[in-house]
């Protein structure tokens, strides 16, 4: 999506320092989950190390390499890394067990409340499975903010394919030109662009800033409330 098709009521940082121009007001936001809404990095690390020890055994768990593929569906990462698909069962088990230790990124709760108040349609499109994503959001008291929560097991092809964002658009019933995808991984940006929506990179988690900026996203957000600059002003209550 060209930058001048994204709506903004105030400047928001782009990779080249330009402000996004106001044109077609945004009506929907599709969020990635891990690293964007929630801080699950340490839980993810512990789950991966346990799964590797149980299935592979001795050796140095390649967690740094795993991190380079974040945003993808777990089985797809295992295939890329040449690791046994059997790691998924203990990884998911440990992820559920450790879920109470996952936290919400600072400012995200307030952002979601504001987006709901403005009438912006919201969805989650995550590399997690749908049931695990919905369970986590429910546990954190965030599920009610979203119209739809989609997992990679619920579409034919996971990110970086556009399928999950296209399905979100279909369910939200909002055109692509009035939607943005907010993510912290290159796979999120690729999925967004494949679906024809604005590709927004966030830098408040464990994201690889250099890799994201190299993809020239349509906007870069350093704090959750930076997203509000892309949205129409709320209509005052009478």
Which residues does the annotation mark as catalytic? 32, 34
**Interatomic CA distance for residues 83 and 81, integer angstroms:** 5
**Helices in the chain by DSSP H: which ranges?**
41-55, 63-67, 74-81, 88-98, 108-117, 130-139, 163-172, 186-195, 209-214
Label the pairing between strands 198-202 and 121-126: unpaired
**Interatomic CA distance for residues 112 and 39, integer angstroms:** 16
Tokens of 222: 């350093």
How crowded is the C-beta side of 30, counted as CA atoms within 13 Å? Answer: 35
Residue 200, beta-bridge partner list: 182, 219
Residue 202, beta-bridge partner list: 221
Task: Examine residue 160 and say whether the peptide bond preceding it is cis (omega within 30 degrees of 0).
Answer: yes
Exposure pattern of 150-187 as b/e (b: 16+ CB <10 Å)? bbbbbbeebbbbbbbbbbbbeebebebbbbbbbbbbbb
**C-beta of residue 150 within 8 angstroms of C-beta of residue 32:** no
**Interatomic CA distance for residues 207 and 106, integer angstroms:** 16
């Amino acid at each position: 999506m060209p930058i001048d098709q994204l709506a903004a009521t105030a400047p928001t940082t782009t990779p080249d320092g330009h402000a996004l121009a106001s044109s077609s007001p945004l009506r929907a936001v599709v969020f990635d989950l891990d690293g964007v809404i929630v801080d699950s990095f340490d839980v993810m690390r512990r789950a991966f190390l346990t799964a590797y020890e149980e299935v592979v055994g001795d050796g140095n768990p390649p967690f740094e390499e795993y991190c380079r593929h974040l945003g993808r569906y777990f089985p797809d990462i295992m295939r890329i890394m040449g690791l046994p698909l059997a790691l998924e069962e203990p990884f998911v088990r440990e992820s559920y067990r450790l879920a109470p230790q996952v936290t919400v990124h600072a400012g995200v709760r307030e952002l979601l409340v504001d987006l709901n108040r403005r009438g912006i349609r919201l969805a989650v499109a995550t590399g997690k499975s749908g049931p695990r994503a919905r369970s986590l959001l429910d546990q954190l008291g965030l599920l009610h903010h979203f119209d739809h929560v989609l997992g990679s097991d619920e579409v034919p092809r996971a990110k970086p394919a556009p399928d999950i964002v296209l399905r979100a658009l279909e369910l939200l019933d909002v055109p692509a030109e009035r939607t943005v995808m907010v993510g912290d991984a290159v796979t999120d940006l690729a999925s967004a662009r494949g679906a024809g929506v604005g590709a927004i990179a966030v830098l408040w988690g464990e994201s690889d800033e250099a890799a994201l900026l190299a993809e020239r996203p349509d906007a870069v957000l350093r704090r959750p409330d930076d997203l509000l600059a892309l949205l129409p002003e709320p209509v005052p209550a009478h």
